[in-house]
Amino acid sequence: MSWTILMLFLLIASLRTKKKPEDMTVSVIIPAYNESNTIEHVVNTVRSINYVSETIVVDDGSTDDTAEIAETAGAKVIKHSTNKGKGAAIKTGFKKSNGDIAVFLDGDLHTLTVEQVEKIIKPILNGEADITKTKFKREAGRVTELTAKPLLKFFFPELKFDQPLSGQFAAKRSFLNSINLEDDYGVDVGIVLDADVRGMRVKEVDIGKIDHVMSSLSDLNVVATEVVRTIVDRAMEYGRVTMMDSLGKAIRMGILGLSLITLGVFCIFFIRFIPLNLGLVIAGIGAAVAIFYIARIIRMSFKVIRRSEVRFQTIRSFFYMHSPIIVSGLILIAMLTTLLGAVHVDDGKISIQPNSRNLIIWNQPHENQSIDVRGPYTIDSAVENEYGSMRMPQEALNTLELNYGDSIYINDQKYNITSTLPGEDNIIRTPYTARNYLGIQIGDSISDSDLRNVFKNLYVEKALPISDQNITMDQGFIIKTNNEPGRIVNIYVNNQKVATTVGVLKNGTYTIYVDGSKYKTIQFNDQNPNKTYSIYMGNSLIKVEIGDRVPSDMEFAQSDEGKFLNFVST
C-alpha cells in the first residue's frame, strides 16, 4: 500500500513539474561572423518578441565591430577569439543558453521580420513539432540543389523536405542535448538527419522571402564540402552505406544463410517440438543462400583487392567488414564439429547423439575454484592387460569425488583407477566385464551430469589424506546421486586432529579395520550417536569423532557393504 501511495505521489509531482509547450522558455542564438551591417536588425527583431527570454549573439572571431553593435542592441554577446565555424558558434551559444527551446538564426538576415521568427517558434510552443526548419524563397541555393539533395535522396530517401539546408531552425533543448552538434556548416543538416532517424517530429515551415548576403564561390565550396561530409558521416553511422552497396548486401545475406543453417541444426537436434523435416528444410535453404552469397563475396573481394594499389590497407578494411560473417562461420563450424564428434556407426546405422559439456558454478568457492567445465566422456575398451583397472579423466574423478589410486568395485570385482593416456582427456577406458555390468558400450557418450547415475550404488575405497606420516587411511563409500544429511568425521592421532572427512551415516553397524583386518564394529544410531571411538595402533591412540550434520552425496559403507575406515601403519 505504501509503495502505491509513493508511486502516485511521484506521478503527480512529475505531472506538476513537466512544462506545457506554451509555458516553455525560448532562447535565440545568433552565430555571427563580420555581420556588422545586419546584426542590429536581427537582434532588434528578436528582442521585440515578448516571449523570447534571452537573445545571444556568438561573435565567431569577427574582425569588425559585430560584437559591439550586438551588445548595444541589447543582446548577450559571447566572443570567440578566432573563427571556429558556424557549428562551433551554435554549440557555444547553446551551452550558454537556458531556454527550453533553442532558436538558431543567421546574423545576415537584413529583411528578417517578427512574423518569420514566430513561424519558426510557434509549432513547438503549440505542441505540433519537436524541431522546426525553414524553407523560403531566395536567389541562392546551389549547395542545396547540387550536393545536399542528390546525396539525401540516395542515402535518406524518406526525407521529403523542400530545403534540407536551412540556417534558421528551432528545437527542444532535450533533443539537442542528446546529439552531437557539428562544428561547421554541416550542423544544420546533421540536426535534421539525427532528428529523422530518432523519430522526432520535424516540421518544415515556409517563412516567405528572405535575403542573405550572397556568398562567394570559394565560400560555397567550403559549405558544400562540410555538408557532404556530414551527410556521408551520418549515412555511415546509421548503416545507410552498407545497406546499399552490393558487397554489404552479400555479407548480410551470407550471414543470414549461415544463421539459417545454425537454426536448422538446432531444430534437428535440440528443439523437440519442431518437426525434423522442417529443421532440414531450414538448414537446406540456409545452405543454398550461404553458398550463393559467400561465393559472390569472395569474387567481389578478389576484384577489389586486385584493383587496389594499397593492398595491406584494403585487406585490413576487408577484415573489419568481413568479421561478422567469419564469426558466424566459425560458430557453425564449431557446432558441426561437435555433432560429428558424436557420430556412432553400428551395422550400417549412423546415429548422432550430441552431448554438451557440463558447466558447474559453485555459490561458494569449492576446492579453490568457483567455476568448472566437465565432460562429456566417451567409453572405450581397456588397454591390453589392464583388466583390473579403469582409466578416467580428472574431470570425471572430480564429479565422482574420487582420486587416482582409489578403487571401485563392480560386481565384486576391484578396479584400480588410473590416469588417462596422453590425448584422451575425455575418454573412460573400462574393461569388458565392467562395461557389461554397467550396461554401457564402446562409443557411448556420457554427459557429466549423468556420470554418477552410471556408477550409482557402487562401492569405492578412497584414500583420505592424513597429516601423520606413520599412518595411512582408506574409507569405504557408496556412490549416491543426491545429497542427503551426513556427518563430519574427524580423525585424531594422539589427540592431534590429522584428517576430516564427510559422508552419510545411517542407523546400522560399521566396521573399522586396522592393516586390513577387522578391529572394531560400531553401532551407529543417529538419534543417540556415540560420538567418539578409540583405536590403538602400536603406541598411537586413534580417535574417530562423529561431528555435526552436513549434506553429502557419498554414503559411508556399512559392515555388509565394505569397510567404514581402514587404518594402515607405514
One DSSP character per residue, 404-444 reads TT-EEEETTEEEEEEPPPTT-TTEEEE-HHHHHHHT--TT-
pLDDT at residue 11 above 60?
no
Query: Residue 136: what residue type?
Result: F
Check pLDDT > 60 for residue 71.
Answer: yes
pLDDT exceeds 80 at position 230: yes
Cell of 307: 584493383
pLDDT in tens, 523-556: 998 887 778 899 988 888 999 999 999 999 999 9
For a pLDDT cut of 90, what percent of the chain falls above it? 48
329-360, pLDDT tens digit by residue?
A: 888 888 888 777 667 666 666 777 676 677 77
Name every residue whose Cβ is closer than 8 Å to that of residue 216 and which is 6 or more positions away in sequence: none
State yes or no: pLDDT of 290 exceeds 80: yes
| pLDDT of amino acid 310 | 44
Query: What are the distances in angstroms from CA 486 to CA 27, 406, 506, 524, 529?
Result: 76, 22, 8, 13, 13
- The distance from CA 414 to its chain's CA centroid, rounded to whole angstroms, is 50
Q: Whole-number mean pLDDT of the chain?
A: 84
pLDDT at position 561: 95
Which pLDDT band holds residue 218 (cuts at 50, 70, 90)?
low
Quote the percentage of the chain above a pLDDT of 70. Answer: 85
Residue 85 confidence (pLDDT) above 60? yes
| pLDDT above 70 for 486 | yes
Query: Which phi-psi region, left, alpha or beta, contains residue 239 (left: φ > 0; alpha: ψ -120 to 50)?
Result: left
Each residue's pLDDT tens digit, 435-465: 999 999 998 888 888 899 999 999 999 999 8
Q: What is the DSSP string of 137-151?
A: E-S--HHIIIIIHHH
- How does pLDDT run across 137-150, given as a tens digit for each residue? 655 455 666 677 78
d(CA 324, CA 329): 9
> pLDDT at position 227, please?
81
Q: Assess whether pLDDT exceeds 70 at residue 239.
A: no
Q: At CB < 8 A and 24+ separation, what contacts does 495-500 make?
A: 495/541, 495/543, 496/468, 498/466, 498/467, 498/468, 498/471, 499/464, 499/465, 499/466, 499/467, 499/473
Mean pLDDT, rounded, for 194-201: 85
Query: 201 and 131 in contact (C-beta within 8 Å)?
Result: yes
Peptide bond into 164 cis (omega under 30): no
Q: Catalogue the E-assigned strands of 67-166.
A: 76-80, 101-104, 131-137
The better pLDDT of the pair 130, 251 is held by 130
For residues 256-285, give the mean pLDDT. Answer: 87
Q: For residue 246, what are the contacts with CB-CB under 8 A and spacing of at least 6? A: 300
CA angle 11, 17, 23 (to 5 degrees): 135
Over residues 82-92, mean pLDDT: 91
- Of 94 and 248, the structure prediction assigns the larger pLDDT to 94
365 three-class SS: strand
| pLDDT over 60 (residue 284) | yes
Contact 408, 415 (CB under 8 A): yes
Of 13-27, 198-212, 289-303, 409-423, where does mean pLDDT reach its minimum?
Answer: 13-27
Main-chain dihedrals φ then ψ at residue 461, nearest 5 degrees? -115, 120
What's the average model confidence in pLDDT over 283-306?
84
